[in-house]
Structures are given as structure tokens and as C-alpha cells.
Amino acid sequence: MDSSYCIQNRKLPNALETIIYSQDNTINFVKYNFSVDGNNSDIAVIFNGKGNVIYPIATNPSLRRKSKVLANRRIGLDLDYYKTFNDLKGESVHLLLPRERELYQIEHKVLRKYFKEDGIDVRLVHAPYIDVQKDEFLGVIAYIRGNYGVDTITLHPAKGTVSVINEYFEKNKVFPCLGVRLAFENLDVTDDRWLNYPEQIMDISSPQVGLTLDVSHLNQDSDLFDLVERIFQKLFVVQISNKSGNRKDLPYREGEMNVQGLLSVLKSNGYNGDLVLEYAPEFKEQEIDDLKRLQDFFS
């Protein structure tokens, strides 16, 4: 290789990270190889310095206990494809992934194949719980983007402070090369996580880091109109549902919150991010009807 290039390897808990710098110290390529020895290129993803996936993941890591795809399309971890996705043919989906230690046990290659056959577009992925400050964080993000090519990934915030997280993204030169937006979700807890309130996302300066606003995780008396105005610049994803007392994830036209008004404010402000219906399981049929209703409303 030309001597004007510098190669830096770093062993992460879940991958071998290789960064190729040009002579002026800009990043030309970033590679994450998820094979045990770091030599199997079929289990690697390569990004150029502009955030594009130029080599997606072709297969799955080799495991001691290999996951098997059975005739009934049961894909690792007892995931029944027909039961989970049969009603979603031709739709865009928000794919929720399991815990990180199980992430590499799913047959993603086969899952992608079935999605393609049924015209299912994986628009968003909800990542496993992973702390931004852990060494394996970028490996998880690269693995998801390398498998599904999504532009936005939703995550739950970990413990920490806003200032520390902001500094991480300001100083990290590799993350922008992954070409993905991270949408951290507001939760209905108040503890030592760095994001307890949606407004705190405005303290993160990176344009690639924003918010997944989960409506059911807000206080029931929240001023939704004022909130949208304050966080609109960082609003990447909105998870739509309603709540009444302790009951959450109700259909958006039920419950005590003015979700219909929220939708009107989003539309009037020209919101072009993603909307996700997140209903409790007993409202599955209503979820399908409301999905069509929302599509018509924003069309």
C-alpha cells in the first residue's frame, strides 16, 4: 500500500476495527470485521470517509452454537418469521433487535432475504441496549448498518451525563464515517441516564445525534405543542401512541393526551422524519387501521 496511507487496527470486544488515514490525517476508510480471527471478509463492513457503506455484511459470524433456520422460517432465538412479519408485506418496518449478546446469533442474511421477498422495507432499527462509552459501541452500530443499510438507528440512553456524551461525539472522528443518525429515546424513568427529558437532546451538538420521541413516555399533562417547537431541530423519530393514567401504548385517538394535535403540529412544521405506531399487543387490528389513517394524513 502507498506509504502516504496509515493503517490503525483496534481490537474491540465484538470486532476488529481498521481505520485507514490519508497523509493529511483524514479518514479514507473504516472497516469492522466480526469474524473471530478478523480475516473473514464476508463478515465485515467497510465505510468510506463520507459515511457510505461500500462493502456490506454478506453473512453471519461463525458461532460455537450455530443458529439454524428451520423449514417454518424460525430464525435463531425462536423468531417465527411468519408470525412476526406476515401482516407487514409491502410495508416499512421498525425492526427491534434483541440484547447485544444475542445480536450475532440471528441469521440476518436469511432475514434480509425474506424481507426482500415480501417487499418489507427495514426503515429503522432499534438497537440493543449499549452504552455509548463502551468500546463495542461503534461495532454494534457498524454491524446494524452493515446488515440493513438504515440511515437512522434508535437507542435507549445509558447512564452518564449530557456533557460527557456530547464530548464523546464531538471528539470521535470515526462515528461520522458510519453515515448513520442515532435517535436516542426518551424513557419514562428519572434516574442517572444522560437523557431523562426530551429537551436534553438539544445539548448534543452533533448533527447526527437526535431524538426518538416516545409520546407514551411523556407526562400525561405535557405541553406537546411547546415541546415540538423546542426540539424540532433534533426530532428524528416519533413513536406514536397515547396513555391514560398508568395505561400506556394506547391507540393514538384514545387516552388523555392530545396526540392528534401533536400530529397536526408536526405536519404544519414540515416534519419529514419517521413516525412509528407503538401500540400494546391487544390493539393490533386498530394499529393497522391507524397506520393507513396516518399515511393519508401526511400524504
Tell whether 71 is covered by a domain: no
The answer to whether the CB of 45 falls within 8 A of the CB of 142 is yes
Specify the number of domains making up the chain.
2
Residue 188 pLDDT exceeds 90 = no
Same domain, 20 and 121: no
Same domain, 29 and 90: no
Grid cell digits, residue 179: 453515515
User: Beta-strand (E) ranges in 141-282?
Assistant: 152-155, 181-185, 209-214, 235-240, 242-244, 247-250, 274-277
- Stretch 45-73: mean pLDDT, rounded? 74
The answer to whether the CB of 224 falls within 8 A of the CB of 264 is no
Tell whether 108 is covered by a domain: yes
For the segment 240-262, what is each residue's pLDDT rounded down to a tens digit? 999 999 899 999 999 999 999 99
Same domain, 29 and 105: no
- Supply the pLDDT for residue 70: 46
Same domain, 50 and 87: no
Same domain, 17 and 102: no
For the segment 103-160, what is each residue's pLDDT rounded down to a tens digit? 988 889 989 999 999 999 999 999 999 999 999 999 999 999 999 999 999 999 999 9
Same domain, 111 and 40: no
Same domain, 35 and 120: no
- Supply the pLDDT for residue 80: 79
Q: Please tell me whether the overall predicted TM-score, pTM, comes out greater than 0.85 for this model.
A: yes
- Residue 169 — pLDDT band, cuts 50, 70, 90? very high
Same domain, 25 and 110: no
Tell whether 197 is covered by a domain: yes
Tell whether 74 is covered by a domain: no
Same domain, 48 and 94: no
User: Beta-strand (E) ranges in the chain?
Assistant: 6-11, 16-21, 27-33, 44-48, 53-55, 92-96, 121-126, 152-155, 181-185, 209-214, 235-240, 242-244, 247-250, 274-277
The answer to whether the CB of 186 falls within 8 A of the CB of 212 is yes
Domain of 230, in residue numbers: 81-298
Tell whether 175 is covered by a domain: yes
Same domain, 153 and 256: yes
Same domain, 222 and 256: yes
pLDDT, mean over the chain: 91
- Supply the pLDDT for residue 71: 46
Tell whether 1 is covered by a domain: no
Which CATH number belongs to the domain containing residue 130 in this structure? 3.20.20.150
For the segment 60-70, what is each residue's pLDDT rounded down to a tens digit? 776 544 444 44
Tell whether 242 is covered by a domain: yes
- Stretch 286-297: mean pLDDT, rounded? 93
Same domain, 98 and 175: yes
Tell whether 76 is covered by a domain: no
